[in-house]
Amino acid sequence: MKVVYCDVLVIGGGLAGLRVAIGVRQRGLDAVVLSLVPPKRSHSAAAQGGMQASLGNVVKGAGDSEDVHFEDTVRGSDWGADQRVVRMFVETAPKAVRELAAWGVPWSRVRRGDREVIINGQRVTITERDAAHGLVAQRDFGGTRKWRTCYVSDGTGHAMLFAVGDQAIAHGVPVHERREALALIHDGSRCGGAVVRDLVTGELIAYVARATVIATGGAGRLYRVTTNAVICEGIGAALALETGVAALGNMEAVQFHPTGIFPAGILVTEGCRGDGGLLRDAAGHRFMPDYEPEKKELASRDVVSRRMAEHIRRGGGVPSHFGPHLWLDITLLGRAHIERNLREVKEICHYFLGIDPAKDWIPVHPAQHYTMGGIRTDHTGESTTLRGLFAAGEAACWDMHGFNRLGGNSVAETVVAGMIVGEFVADFCQSPRGNLDLSTALIADAVAAERAALDALLASRGDESADVLRAEMQQAMTDGVGIFRTGADLEAAVARLQELLVRSRRIGLRHRVDGPNPELVTAYRVRRMLKVALAMACGALARRESRGAHFREDFPRRDDARWLCRTLATWPRPGDSTPTLNYEAIDVGAMELPPGWRGYGARDYVDHPDTPQRAAQVAATRERLAGAGREEVQQALMPFRHLLPPRLRAGNDRLPESAA
């Protein structure tokens, strides 16, 4: 048996995984990163639009602060987020942008003086301040009150991933590419690494580590149409689920992005709308103001996607061979702007649609985009139920997004979580809790179990095709667990997924070799993906309310009285056909921002019984501290700074709002 020993095993070489690995290296520990693909090809590279951080350098961002970013994020989450974690996040995001600037990210910069921008369909001139010249610039994104999204043209994720990837090389972090974690090694209470398959040779290797970090990204490929890369299959969530101990949080919270190009689902960035692009229907009518007079195209993503689907249902869609779609119009931004700031969009339109977005409208339809749910952790990033297992990035439910994440908050989460969780992972390894004494027999058994499962698959004469099962799963999720959900559709989806899970035991392969074998890979993954899909579908069926991206037509109101809680899914026995659901209450009494209206979307919701009292307390505190600084007020409402690693506790400087 081949065994690799390390202090920290990081499963995933995207932004989150690499940043965690650098963090623990800086603390003198050795980390090994696993990745299905060369790390710079991870899906983080595809982020176009940008990263939120309240730097407030542009004039439309002046007056921004951690407080405003905090409120926008909590409203965006529909109060599903852990507010302390949101505070930790917004406090660290500016530091993350600045760290990346120091690592070489060529952030787009503010240029002093007048410039023309499009706001609400109108061309207006704004004047950037002299004092801000050359500082990192921000653009507008959905669901934010200030222009807060820092960007590198529209290749933000690429530039970030390359800078972080380069730093990982500089720090000597080894990345074992084309190696896939198949199962976690654990004894029911302590995680000690993973069983890993070499995708080139087929060899199984045990990686034994004091801390294991899952940073495997999202699960978009559970759906038929998604903006996600083909490797975003939710395997990290499955790794945790299959321990039977670790829990997944809020898996029913799935985001659909308004502007996937139709029908391929490839994303064109929210920056298109942030920079002034409009949504139009078959008649060329700009319909969003009819539904959302306040934020129009720039309401949060869940709201815009829902309104688009609603408008299509009402007959506003453009008919086509592949079904109805809507239009995204960025022609009004002008060619110069598109060629400078929306270049990936232009390339995508050119190569995949054969159109020129400076002249033509872009056919769009909402597509699965982001997995808010994930491996449930505490604020340090550690699983609340399996010691030594950590998670970061899109794979985690840390939980700063609740039921809807804001555009630009995800790449921000990856690096921020990397900075914070990396410190806590190092603390863990350097403390007695980090001691590891798993028996060699346990490790050997874990490897043997995976070997046996693979051998059985390779020998199976079963009559089911892995590709067919995957396609049926994607269809079931698309039909039943989409933008609009009902009890009946969800029940049907659960039943279909359960049937697929049973059938997946009879998968037979046409190609029976254990080296580079894509069919074998699909076969073992689809079984795992089905469990994650069931966690989503069952969670959605059980949650009889609407919150953020989870919208139940039969329960259209947000119901804080009964559902202000986080869904926790576990899979205690391998033979189970459904996950076990439990709930974790979210304490209104500890909230800095008690539940209310989001400022867009539906206005009616059922209050939690504690909300009025907490709202009164918050108001009284604010009144009592009327003359005090905003940090003092914040500290009185919901202390959080002590939760941050010491080196990240300092406040953030920014230009004064009054700067000229």
Partner 1 sequence: MSEHRRIRIHALRHNPRDPASEPRLQTYELEEQPGMTLFLALSEIRERQDPSLAFDFVCRAGICGSCAMIVNGRPRLACRTLTRDFPEDVTLLPLPGFELIADLSVDTGKWMRALSERLAAWLHARQAEVDLSRIEEPMDPDLADRIYELDRCVECGCCVAACGTARMRADFVGAVGLNKIARFSLDPRDRRGDGDYYELVGDDLGVFGCMTLLGCQDVCPKELPLQTQIAYLRRRMARAGA
Ligand X SMILES: Cc1cc2nc3c(=O)[nH]c(=O)nc-3n(C[C@H](O)[C@H](O)[C@H](O)COP(=O)(O)OP(=O)(O)OC[C@H]3O[C@@H](n4cnc5c(N)ncnc54)[C@H](O)[C@@H]3O)c2cc1C
Q: Which of 46, 206, 312, 537 binds partner 1 (CB under 8 A)?
A: 46
The amino acid occupying position 125 is T
How far, in Å, CA of 501 to CA of 549, rounded? 26
Site for partner 1 in 363-402 (CB under 8 A): none
Site residues for ligand X per CB under 6 A: 11-17, 34-37, 39, 42-44, 46-51, 156-157, 180-181, 215-218, 227-228, 231-232, 235-236, 267, 269, 369-370, 393-395, 407-412, 414
- Cα 159 versus chain centre, distance: 18
Complex with partner 1: residue 159 or 541, whichever CB lies closer: 159
Task: Please report whether residue 275 would count as binding partner 1 according to CB under 8 A.
Answer: no
Tokens matching residue 61: 């961002």
Quick one: what does residue 409 bind among partner 1, ligand X, none, with the CB cut-off 5 to 8 Å set by partner type? ligand X
Q: Which stretch binds partner 1 (CB under 8 A): 94-102, 244-252, 421-429, 589-597?
A: 94-102
**Non-local CB neighbours of 473 within 8 Å, separated by 6+ positions:** 222, 497, 500, 526, 529, 530, 533
Range 325-350 burial, b when 16+ CB lie within 10 A, else e: bbbbbbbebeeebbeebbebbbebbe
Complex with partner 1: residue 159 or 483, whichever CB lies closer: 159
Task: Please report whether residue 107 would count as binding partner 1 according to CB under 8 A.
Answer: yes
Residue 131 CA: distances (Å) to CA of 105, 107, 120, 437, 502 = 21, 17, 27, 57, 64
Q: What DSSP assignment string belongs to 311-340?
A: HIIIIISBP-TT--BEEEE-GGG-HHHHHH
How far, in Å, CA of 482 to CA of 486, rounded? 10
Complex with ligand X: residue 324 or 407, whichever CB lies closer: 407
Residue 159 CA: distances (Å) to CA of 217, 408, 610 = 18, 14, 45
Bond prior to 645 in cis (omega within 30° of 0): no
Complex with ligand X: residue 20 or 637, whichever CB lies closer: 20
Tokens matching residue 252: 């029913």
Q: Which of 1, 3, 119, 169 binds partner 1 (CB under 8 A)?
A: 169
**Min separation Cβ 109 and ligand X, Å:** 18
Tokens matching residue 253: 């919270």
Complex with ligand X: residue 17 or 645, whichever CB lies closer: 17
**Min separation Cβ 297 and ligand X, Å:** 16
Residue 273 designated active-site? yes
Quick one: what does residue 493 bind among ligand X, partner 1, none, with the CB cut-off 5 to 8 Å set by partner type? none
Q: Which of 1, 3, 119, 230 binds partner 1 (CB under 8 A)?
A: 230
Q: Rounded to the nearest 10 degrees, what angle do helices 66-76 and 83-102 cross at?
A: 120
How far, in Å, CA of 153 to CA of 159, rounded? 10
Task: Print the binding letters for residues 629-648 with partner 1: x by CB under 8 A, - otherwise.
Answer: -------------------x
Q: Which stretch binds partner 1 (CB under 8 A): 20-28, 89-97, 300-308, 604-612?
A: 89-97
Task: Please report whether residue 33 would count as binding partner 1 according to CB under 8 A.
Answer: no
Task: Please report whether residue 347 would count as binding partner 1 according to CB under 8 A.
Answer: yes
Quick one: what does residue 159 bind among ligand X, partner 1, none, with the CB cut-off 5 to 8 Å set by partner type? partner 1
Complex with ligand X: residue 34 or 185, whichever CB lies closer: 34
User: Taking Cα atoms as reference points, which of 211, 214, 191 lies closest to residue 7?
Assistant: 211
Task: Please report whether residue 340 would count as binding partner 1 according to CB under 8 A.
Answer: yes
**Min separation Cβ 441 and partner 1, Å:** 31
Q: Which stretch binds partner 1 (CB under 8 A): 229-237, 251-259, 453-461, 636-644?
A: 229-237
Complex with ligand X: residue 20 or 247, whichever CB lies closer: 20
Q: Rounded to the nearest 10 degrees, what angle do helices 156-170 and 83-102 cross at?
A: 70
Task: Please report whether residue 323 would count as binding partner 1 according to CB under 8 A.
Answer: no
DSSP for residue 252: T
Q: What is the number of residues in the chain? A: 660
Task: Please report whether residue 510 would count as binding partner 1 according to CB under 8 A.
Answer: yes
Residue 314 designated active-site? no
Q: Which stretch binds partner 1 (CB under 8 A): 326-334, 433-441, 494-502, 651-659?
A: 651-659
Quick one: what does residue 17 bind among partner 1, ligand X, none, with the CB cut-off 5 to 8 Å set by partner type? ligand X
Q: What DSSP assignment string belongs to 476-532?
A: HHHHHSSSSB-HHHHHHHHHHHHHHHHHGGGBB-SS--SSS-HHHHHHHHHHHHHHH
* 415 three-class SS: helix
Catalytic residue among 257, 337, 496, 550: 257
Q: Which of 87, 146, 158, 527 binds partner 1 (CB under 8 A)?
A: 158
Catalytic residues: 257, 273
